[in-house]
Structure 1
Amino acid sequence: MSIFIDLEMNTTDARLVHKKDLRNEVIEIGAVRMDDTFHPLDRFRIFVRPQYNGVIERKIYKLTGISNGAVSDAVSLPEALDALEAWCGSDGCEIYAWSTSDLCQLRKECGFKGIDSVFLDEMVQWHDFQEDFRQMLGEKNILSLSNAMHRAGLEPEGCLHDASWDAYNSARLMETAHSPNFAADVAKAQAACYQEAPRMQGGLPLDVMKKLAALLQSSQPEPAMAV
């Protein structure tokens, strides 16, 4: 069983906890269950009540759309992890995430709050798909999720920085990246683009990225909707 997971976080209140001890707290967990070809099957979403900040910071609200009301009556982090564990099932699973930051956040927050999580300790193996995808492209620079999707000829669905949608879009990217012709299509599209413009520091120029995305999109099947 493969699961793609994504977290959204709120910053802690420095009056309640030292920032170097715990800078952020999880306020939303999103996940997508995938089949053996990484096709999205179903989705999980739960809000989490923060312990060390009574309000969602304005910059976090603007980024995620998560309001104070969404988390004021939400479950605690242990309850949210128990719900996620139950949703994942008892057969074990492999977890994929975009970078290692979410895993690091969970480990640090659980350690700080004294939370024992079977989900973290026993059930799962974690994989950094951001790094895997970077290597697939032969890219030296770190890619954001939206940038990576454009490089694969995909358009993000739903809202960015929504944990459920980010997990779903990441699963779509995984499915596309593991399709039989993806590597060959990328190579052909990049070769066509590089004939018109050279690689620049920080990644491909925007106009070349758009052309690369268009070339890839024309060669990829339409992604399936989540169940």
Structure 2
Amino acid sequence: MDYIVLDIEFNGRKFASELPMEVIEIGAVRLDSSLAPVGEFSSMIKPVYFSKLNSFLKKKTGIQQEEIDSADGFVAVSERFRAWLGPSENFLLLTWGGEDMKRIVFDTRMHKLDDAYWMGTDYFDLLKGYLRCKGLTNDVSVEAALAELAIDASGSAHRALDDARMTAEVFRAVFAGLDLSLKQRFKDTYSNAKERRLVKNAIRTIRSQKQEPTWALLAEKFLTGKVDMDNAKKLDELRGYFEAELNKKA
């Protein structure tokens, strides 16, 4: 079993826009079964939208405009990355949070490529694993985890390969305390954390009023005006969350 520690950078923007964010850099470190580093992948990606990097992103990442201008596009880079991963399925992707997989899947779809490979690839959210291992409840950065583990950070934060290297160090340090059976696959979500909290709090409020929570009551009294009621996928997902919360109390 190989472990592939993945990190991506994407082109954030200063102001809200209908145009999509895009992956602009992929970095990955391959660890073998003994957790020894045996390979690396690094590539810039030229975006379709927001091709000019804003000053905030340049300062945050250190990426220069010339690097973006001379880079290949997502289609070519993603093909090279998949080739580097190899034909074998005997690897586990490791990410710090779920955003990296989301961005790769979304860019794959944006470029009208088949997303089956990524949807069928197992990954382990090391951030969640680290929090469980340390008994923490609030998210922490890779840099904070390294400091907690007394590991000297090297490289530049917010550059994909350097971040992947640092994440690999965290993985190696806490490996014995991780439950890798909690791996997962990317799943589309249509609701956000705020909306799911709204459902959870609504159930609590309804019960405090000595009423039996029903989906119809919750939707009418707590979701209307706060959630897009015309979004069928969002409502189906929230209803599933509602039912799961009720089962927890059963």
* TM-score normalised by length of structure 2: 0.65
Q: Distance in 2 between matches of 1:60 and 1:115?
A: 27
Q: Distance in 1 between matches of 2:47 and 2:32?
A: 33
1:111 equivalent to 2:109? Answer: yes
What residue number does 2:10 align with?
9
Gapped runs of 5+ residues in structure 2? Answer: 179-250
What residue number does 1:48 align with?
45
Report how far residue 179 of structure 1 moved.
4.8
Gapped runs of 5+ residues in structure 1? Answer: 183-227
Aligned with 1:178: secondary structure?
helix
Q: Could you report, residue by residue, the CA deviation over 1:32-59 in whole angstroms, capped at 9, with x for unpaired residues?
A: 0011133322211001000011211111
Aligned with 2:28: secondary structure?
strand
Q: Distance in 2 between matches of 1:170 and 1:13?
A: 27
Report how far residue 118 of structure 1 moved.
5.7
What residue number does 1:212 align with?
none
1:134 paired residue among 119, 131, 135: 131
**Would you say the 8 A contact 2:109–2:115 is kept in 1?**
no
Instruction: Report percent identity of matched pairs.
Output: 23
- The verdict on how the C-alpha distance between 1:102 and 1:9 changes in structure 2, with shifts beyond 3 A counting, is same
What residue number does 2:147 align with?
150
Q: Distance in 2 between matches of 1:155 and 1:118?
A: 38
1:96 equivalent to 2:97? Answer: no
**Would you say the 8 A contact 2:8–2:25 is kept in 1?**
yes
What residue number does 2:184 align with?
none
Count, aligned residues? 176
Report how far residue 30 of structure 1 moved.
0.1
**Would you say the 8 A contact 2:19–2:49 is kept in 1?**
no
What residue number does 2:77 align with?
80
What residue number does 2:171 align with?
174
Q: Distance in 2 between matches of 1:145 and 1:50?
A: 26
Mapping of residues 27-42 of structure 1, within 5 Å: 27-42=24-39
Q: Distance in 2 between matches of 1:11 and 1:173?
A: 26
Q: Distance in 1 between matches of 2:49 and 2:14?
A: 6
2:158 paired residue among 158, 161, 178: 161
Q: Report the residue type matching 1:148 in the other structure.
A: A
Identify which of structures 1 and 2 has the higher relative contact order when contacts are C-alpha pairs closer than 8 Å and 6+ apart: 1
**Would you say the 8 A contact 1:39–1:171 is kept in 2?**
no
Q: Report the residue type matching 1:86 in the other structure.
A: A
**Would you say the 8 A contact 2:105–2:115 is kept in 1?**
no
What residue number does 1:68 align with?
65
Q: Distance in 2 between matches of 1:114 and 1:4?
A: 26
Q: Report the residue type matching 2:85 in the other structure.
A: C
* TM-score normalised by length of structure 1: 0.72
**Would you say the 8 A contact 2:105–2:119 is kept in 1?**
no
**Greater Rg by CA:** 2
